Chain A
């Protein structure tokens, strides 16, 4: 019933509109106003363009300043300071061009409206002008490119040797992390060894793997270089840590990496933002399926000494999953237990 009413109502509205349009066009034909340029609507449109410029300009300025805190994410990494500065320089440069050209566009549109007695100025070309506005943008862009290149090269340079190496792996739909343990070496992996227990497919025939640990949360030391070794298990994912200005895709079959230096602990950030519950997070920014929007990993940045303490408390994965030892090749078992700190008696 309601559908019927809606349909009938819709048809009525449509008929009314048709009638109105018909009347208005008949009236205008009768007045013969459309044979010449319609000065009235021309003036209205010209004025509206100018009004649009002014109103939208004011709203933009107001919103950009009033909500600066909301969209300007707090920063917590060394390279982020460089890219943030570059970002705001680019905002200034492009903002200037943006404002200038939009003002000219709408002002000209308003200023040079049709007048029957007037003739437009015949001005087909001017090479000097063309050269100016080819070269000036070229120079400005060159400057931006070179500052960008320098930043990019620094960011993508080889990680320092003393970096904390941490493996971050994406899978549908979560992140998992693996630390190298006491030997500071991540063990090998093989995707064919992945099963319900062995999330990473860690290959325990590699002795470096025995003491690797897999914590629930990601802990990072403040002020030390951290190297993420990034991989994916099933489809593409992308590690995005907004506060660290860090993003790198996780690709199955092709490990990627990103190194950075965290500059503020979680605690410091809580004080700075005035938010008791502040936490660093990692999100996924490459569409990966149904749960794409829910791939959250909690990140905690500690003072270096707290970090070391936390690391020392972690148990190797093998020690937590002693059942898995039976799957390790016979000759490696004993070594694995020693490396993982499992007392041999438990066997």
Chain B
């Protein structure tokens, strides 16, 4: 038993071997208690345990995905409602009365408070329910066990709870849309005192309470999921799957989960204190307030405190949203360029850099809140540093495409779209991170354009790219590529037409969250551009129905998927087309190489999956890899250590 490096990771592997190396050795600790052993056919399960309270990571991933799609539709529709108001302020919205009832005023206009409610719920739903739960929940759950070679998550039960807490949160949030005083309306950042005082606006009543309760459930869900992802990645990698052989998707999910676990609890604290202020008369955020004809007794609190707490989560949150998308596209771009991702280690390094820096930039949202200007200087410096790892990622993507052999699957198109968004939205971040420029641009449409492109649209494209790419693994069928192309082009052009013009509107100083601009001489222009944006947003929304149709149609009637439709290297494609509970019948494959051996010189095919030993590919091995062949048979997979030793 010879070992070059006795790492933690290997120690775990050793233990496994002692456990007589049977099929289940790797992961039977967690393959749902009560159903396991012997083999991995789908066991007799009732409908409820199989589809509803399932502990199988693949089913849970699909649950997250479907719920995410539902919320994406809701959030998208809401944006159309307020875009109608902004694009066509004169038009009568009487026809929406059947849906919105009294929120349409007697003159056939949208109620201004309802407008704010729509804006608020759109933000909340998109950021948390779609791009956090829908994105991480779907792909972390689905891909982590399949790509690292595990039977399931570390704790299937916690994983199930994670989904059901999300569901509970969704139900509470959904119900809040229908209450008489309306849902939360103080913006998705729910700054007090507006959100703390029911007398300040009607949405700050019951709607706000439900928002807060829903968020607490949501955070519980995120924590349960995050802890599970981290544990699984650290402990359940298959033989040979060292950290330097993890696909970038897994690296991204791993770091995302760490960010989430460290930052979401702070939001719980912020939310709890707000609940106290709202319901129990404390003064954490309230001081010196005269409202509704009376002076409130609260004193000594600080609204700025809430902003610090909120953005301590809120800023990492945008990286929680974008990192998984970047991981997904790294994988898809490499696969479909038939080229290794350029600078694998630099990609990991920049992901880590972004993850760490994401914790020390939060106050760039607060330059003009009256915060000490010195803090502003510090956060400006830190914020602009984060542009460096982001730039590295972009250049690496570009170099990956260079001299590639690019195949345009819909997933690939969406990934290229993501890179374009990441650039476009990234450069405007350099304006906003600069405190001196932020004075003018803060809370204008420039900000709206910036984060919708770099975070919203980019992450959304990452999510859609992932759906197209892994749909065959999820449902054993292919999505229709042509509808995918239509979906891509309508969305890509549509999204740019919606958000690019907003930069001009923002530079002209138009504030965000305005129901109408007619009160101001300075903002009494751009009616044409606003109308154009609204039309473009409708077109973009129509494109999503093309996707929806394609998605549900293909689940049942799509072309049957081959084993490895994209000729990809990663482990999930070695599992059966319809992986059962436990993912691989028989032994989990051993990993011998990194996941990006595409178009390796000398190789027969233009891809070499991770589970192919170097002894089978003498024609393409690099000198150090030839060395490691000697070790392959020796100790069941410890050959991988040579690769580590090389570093």
Chain A positions near chain B (C-beta within 8 angstroms): 14, 17-18, 21-22, 24-25, 29, 34, 37-38, 41-42, 44-46, 48-49, 52, 56, 60, 63-64, 67, 70-73, 80, 82-83, 86-87, 90, 93-95, 97-98, 101-102, 104-106, 108-109, 112-115, 118-126, 129-130, 133-134, 137-138, 141, 144-145, 148-149, 151-153, 155-156, 171-172, 191-192, 194, 196, 201, 230, 233-236, 238, 240, 242-243, 245-249, 251-254, 256, 277-279, 281, 283-294, 296
Q: How far is the CB of B285 from chain A (nearest CB, A)?
A: 9
Task: Decide: A21 near B480, CB < 8 A? Known: A125-B345, A287-B186, A293-B514.
Answer: yes
* Bound CA–CA A149/B424 (angstroms): 24
* Bound CA–CA A101/B424 (angstroms): 9
13 contacts between A and B (CB under 8 A): A45-B408, A109-B401, A112-B402, A113-B408, A119-B405, A126-B343, A137-B391, A141-B387, A191-B290, A238-B368, A254-B287, A254-B302, A291-B112
Task: Decide: A52 near B187, CB < 8 A? Known: A97-B427, A120-B606, A137-B388.
Answer: no
B483–A292 touching, CB < 8 Å: no
The yes or no answer to B344 lying at the interface (CB within 8 A) is yes
A293–B403 touching, CB < 8 Å: no
Task: Decide: A246 near B439, CB < 8 A? Known: A133-B395, A293-B112.
Answer: yes
Partner of A287, one of B191, B291, B339, B505: B191
A120–B337 touching, CB < 8 Å: yes
A236–B434 touching, CB < 8 Å: no
B427–A22 touching, CB < 8 Å: no
**Chain B positions 466 through 501: 1 when the CB is less than 8 Å from some CB of chain A, otherwise 0:** 000000000000001111010001001100100010
* Bound CA–CA A217/B405 (angstroms): 66
The yes or no answer to B419 lying at the interface (CB within 8 A) is yes
Residues of A within 8 A of B553 (CB): 18, 21
Residues of B within 8 A of A42 (CB): 406-408
The yes or no answer to B515 lying at the interface (CB within 8 A) is yes
Partner of A285, one of B341, B344, B443, B481: B443
Partner of A233, one of B197, B289, B395, B405: B289
B504–A101 touching, CB < 8 Å: no
The yes or no answer to B416 lying at the interface (CB within 8 A) is yes
Residues of B within 8 A of A102 (CB): 420, 423-424
Interface pick from B42-50, B54-62, B208-216, B374-382: B374-382
The yes or no answer to B437 lying at the interface (CB within 8 A) is yes
* Bound CA–CA A118/B434 (angstroms): 46
**CB nearest neighbor in A for B493:** A52
Residues of A within 8 A of B485 (CB): 41, 44-45
A247–B405 touching, CB < 8 Å: no
Residues of B within 8 A of A248 (CB): 368, 370
Q: How far is the CB of A100 from chain B (nearest CB, A)?
A: 10
The yes or no answer to B589 lying at the interface (CB within 8 A) is no
B403–A90 touching, CB < 8 Å: no
Partner of B405, one of A115, A130, A240, A291: A115
* Bound CA–CA A7/B253 (angstroms): 42
* Bound CA–CA A25/B477 (angstroms): 12
Partner of A22, one of B186, B403, B557: B557
Residues of A within 8 A of B376 (CB): 152, 156
A289–B606 touching, CB < 8 Å: no
A112–B403 touching, CB < 8 Å: yes
Q: How far is the CB of A138 from chain B (nearest CB, A)?
A: 5
Task: Decide: A114 near B508, CB < 8 A? Known: A21-B553, A52-B492, A245-B439.
Answer: no
Which of the listed residues B186, B373, B431, B434 has the most CB atoms from chain A within 10 Å of its own CB? Answer: B434
Partner of A21, one of B289, B340, B440, B483: B483
Task: Decide: A120 near B440, CB < 8 A? Known: A90-B434, A254-B287, A254-B303.
Answer: no
The yes or no answer to B522 lying at the interface (CB within 8 A) is yes
Residues of B within 8 A of A235 (CB): 193-194, 197, 200, 289, 291
The yes or no answer to B88 lying at the interface (CB within 8 A) is no
The yes or no answer to B259 lying at the interface (CB within 8 A) is no
Task: Decide: A114 near B407, CB < 8 A? Known: A123-B340, A125-B343, A191-B288.
Answer: yes
Chain B positions near chain A (C-beta within 8 angstroms): 112-113, 116, 186-187, 191, 193-194, 197, 200-201, 286-291, 293, 295, 299-304, 337-346, 368-370, 373, 376-377, 380-381, 384-385, 387-388, 391-392, 394-399, 401-408, 413, 416, 419-420, 423-424, 427-428, 430-431, 434-437, 439-440, 442-444, 480-483, 485, 489, 492-493, 496, 500, 504-505, 507-509, 511-517, 519-523, 525-526, 549-550, 553, 557-559, 596, 598-601, 606
**CB nearest neighbor in B for A26:** B559
B504–A67 touching, CB < 8 Å: yes
A123–B394 touching, CB < 8 Å: no
A256–B370 touching, CB < 8 Å: yes
Task: Decide: A234 near B427, CB < 8 A? Known: A144-B384, A286-B443.
Answer: no
Partner of B440, one of A172, A245, A284: A245
**CB nearest neighbor in B for A250:** B370
Residues of A within 8 A of B112 (CB): 290-291, 293
Residues of A within 8 A of B394 (CB): 101
Residues of B within 8 A of A287 (CB): 116, 186-187, 191, 194, 513
**CB nearest neighbor in A for B550:** A21
Q: How far is the CB of A148 from chain B (nearest CB, A)?
A: 4
Q: How far is the CB of B413 from chain A (nearest CB, A)?
A: 6
In the complex, besides A119-B338, A149-B436, 12 extra interface pairs with C-beta distance below 8 angstroms are: A25-B480, A72-B508, A97-B391, A105-B398, A114-B405, A121-B403, A133-B395, A145-B381, A149-B435, A252-B286, A283-B522, A291-B112
Residues of B within 8 A of A101 (CB): 394-395, 398, 423
Partner of B513, one of A41, A130, A292: A292
Q: How far is the CB of A274 from chain B (nearest CB, A)?
A: 14
Residues of A within 8 A of B508 (CB): 70-73
Task: Decide: A63 near B504, CB < 8 A? Known: A108-B404, A113-B406.
Answer: yes
Q: How far is the CB of A76 from chain B (nearest CB, A)?
A: 12
* Bound CA–CA A177/B63 (angstroms): 55
A124–B434 touching, CB < 8 Å: no
A125–B342 touching, CB < 8 Å: yes
A236–B342 touching, CB < 8 Å: no
Partner of B437, one of A90, A252, A283, A296: A90
Residues of B within 8 A of A124 (CB): 340-344, 596
Residues of B within 8 A of A253 (CB): 286-289, 299-303
Q: How far is the CB of A101 from chain B (nearest CB, A)?
A: 5
A252–B289 touching, CB < 8 Å: yes
Residues of B within 8 A of A87 (CB): 431, 437, 440
Q: How far is the CB of A126 from chain B (nearest CB, A)?
A: 8
B519–A296 touching, CB < 8 Å: yes
Residues of B within 8 A of A94 (CB): 427-428, 430-431
B368–A83 touching, CB < 8 Å: no
Residues of A within 8 A of B513 (CB): 287, 292-293
Q: How far is the CB of A168 from chain B (nearest CB, A)?
A: 13
Q: How far is the CB of A259 from chain B (nearest CB, A)?
A: 12
Task: Decide: A283 near B507, CB < 8 A? Known: A48-B489, A98-B427.
Answer: no
Q: How far is the CB of B446 from chain A (nearest CB, A)?
A: 10
Residues of A within 8 A of B302 (CB): 253-254
* Bound CA–CA A106/B417 (angstroms): 10
Task: Decide: A70 near B398, CB < 8 A? Known: A90-B437, A156-B376.
Answer: no
B507–A71 touching, CB < 8 Å: yes
Partner of A70, one of B428, B481, B526: B526
Residues of A within 8 A of B504 (CB): 63-64, 67, 70-71
* Bound CA–CA A198/B480 (angstroms): 68
B405–A120 touching, CB < 8 Å: yes
Residues of B within 8 A of A83 (CB): 436-437, 439-440
* Bound CA–CA A151/B394 (angstroms): 30
* Bound CA–CA A233/B287 (angstroms): 10
Q: What 3 A-B pairs come out closest when comparing CB atoms?
A: A253-B287, A156-B373, A256-B370
* Bound CA–CA A291/B601 (angstroms): 66
* Bound CA–CA A217/B547 (angstroms): 54
* Bound CA–CA A123/B511 (angstroms): 47
B436–A56 touching, CB < 8 Å: no
